[in-house]
Amino acid sequence: MQEEKEVLALLSKLDLDNIHFTDSPPEDAKQSVHLIASEGLEAYLPLADMVDISAEVQRLTKRLSKMQTEYEGLKARLNSPKFIEKAPKDVVRGVQEKAAEAE
């Protein structure tokens, strides 16, 4: 594997100095993306320098909350007999599809 280091650096667009081969996971493995290329070949990409983890958690939490609110709204519409009776069939079908997607 060591002899392929230059090819790996070129393909992954990483600096040669940032590619290390070891027999065990790095200490900061929990703050890394863990890729399994094949049996016995794993890669860890540290996120600390690339991503503000707390900001990313906040962003994803906000997105999840927004999606849950949207899903609850779709389900409320579908549980309303008036909506089902009065809305055009294609509108009802569209809401059903969006709700199924959101599940």
Q: Dump pLDDT digits (tens) for 42-95.
A: 777 777 777 787 898 999 999 999 999 999 999 999 999 999 999 999 999 999
Q: Residue 39: left (phi > 0), alpha (psi -120 to 50), or beta?
A: beta
Using only C-alpha atoms, the chain has a radius of gyration, in whole angstroms, of 23
pLDDT at 26: 74
**More confident: 12 or 77:** 77
The whole-number pLDDT of residue 71 equals 95
pTM comes to 0.54
Residue 16 banded pLDDT, cuts 50, 70, 90 = confident
